[in-house]
Structure 1
Amino acid sequence: MSSNRRHIPLVLAAACSVAGALALAPTAQAVTPLTATATYDCGAWGSGLATLTAADSGTSKTIKITSTAITMPAGTSADPNSITTTLKLTKTSGGVTSQVRFSGKTNPGMSGGSPITLGPLKLTSGTLAAGDSTNSVVLPAPPSATNWSLQIVASSPTSATVPCVATTNQSAPFVW
């Protein structure tokens, strides 16, 4: 038996092993669109357009929030991963409306005047199935401890709880 023939079963076994692993791995789901914008009022932290970027890995659904209009106030700062952020979104599934929340403690270091970068925030409350859509929870201004669509809680070195209200729907709802 030639050496090439002896390697064929090994190559086939390796190929089958890889195919089996890929078949069992969760597949990434498409979210459309990948980004949307909405306007938020965050009081002393500013008001304006924020970009929401959605992702679905198959095992985790996330949203990242960035904005050059919403910034850390002068004289404040935040260490990396020291801001707990919670985002409320309206969910529509089969004509039924409810609410989901995305939350996390992921941020770069920021200082006074820095645009916000928050997340990716993971889905922590509610469920999302294929075909469900989510959109901003639009609320009247001013934001408060009980009236918020987005809440930013900074803990180090600056301590602050910043409620924000979405003042517009997203430019397009996310469809999961």
Structure 2
Amino acid sequence: MRRSRLGIGTALAAGALAITGLAFAPAAMAVQPADASADYDCGSFGGGDAQLHAVQSGSNLTITVATSVVTPLSIGAGEATTSLTLELNGGPGTVTFSGSSNPDIPAFSPFNSGPLTTATTFAPGDSLDSHSGPVGLKLVIFGTTVNCEAVSTQSPGPFVVD
């Protein structure tokens, strides 16, 4: 009987320690807003609304872009290269996110970039908004480059790093 009491006491102590650890754990960091949209003009390839989704991990961000640009051919996973340039803290500085981690995209479906990364690290309060330069979003698919210009700022507002 003594052995089971020791086991219960140890379990209770371990549980109390775990709960105390949770109470002192740092709060999760999250960029705000996590989702924004902006309008892009991609010339003869069309254009329209692009949905941007940002995820913060420490001082790093990843951004996924889903556009209304539709591809007439299916695109295999990792077969497209995407670059997204955003204005940092209202400009003139910019940050470019890029990657080739798109999921499989069936023919006649909207484009999805998959997560885009940057080597830039961010400080709390840094903001990122659509870059109004000539190439805010660039897609390279099957060797064809699609340059898109942001024609609006992000809505509901720029991404702000926590």
| TM score, norm. by length of structure 1 | 0.75
- Equivalent position of 1:9 in the other structure: 10
> Would the alpha carbon gap of residues 45 and 27 (structure 1) be closer, same or farther in structure 2, given more than 3 Å must change?
farther
Counterpart contact for 1:100–1:125, Cα < 8 Å: no
What amino acid is the match of 1:175?
Answer: V
Counterpart contact for 1:27–1:58, Cα < 8 Å: no
CA-to-aligned-CA distance 1:128-176 (integer Å, 9 cap, x gap):
111111000013xxxxxxx31111122xxx3322111111111111111
Gaps of 5+ in 2: none
Which of 94, 101, 106 is matched with 1:99 structurally? 94
Aligned residues: 159
Gaps of 5+ in 1: 140-146
> Would the alpha carbon gap of residues 18 and 160 (structure 1) be closer, same or farther in structure 2, given more than 3 Å must change?
farther
What amino acid is the match of 1:66?
Answer: A
Q: How far is 1:37 from its partner? A: 0.8
> Would the alpha carbon gap of residues 15 and 169 (structure 1) be closer, same or farther in structure 2, given more than 3 Å must change?
same
Which of 120, 129, 133 is matched with 1:126 structurally? 120
> Would the alpha carbon gap of residues 15 and 170 (structure 1) be closer, same or farther in structure 2, given more than 3 Å must change?
same
Query: Considering only aligned residues, what root-mean-square deviation do their CA atoms show, in Å?
Result: 2.8
Partners of 2:154 and 2:39 in 1: CA distance: 8
- The share of aligned pairs that are identical, in percent, is 38
- Equivalent position of 1:71 in the other structure: 70
The 5-angstrom pairing of residues 84-163 of structure 1 reads 84-92=81-89, 97-122=92-117, 124-139=118-133, 147-154=134-141, 158-163=142-147
What amino acid is the match of 1:162?
Answer: V
Q: How far is 1:63 from its partner? A: 1.0
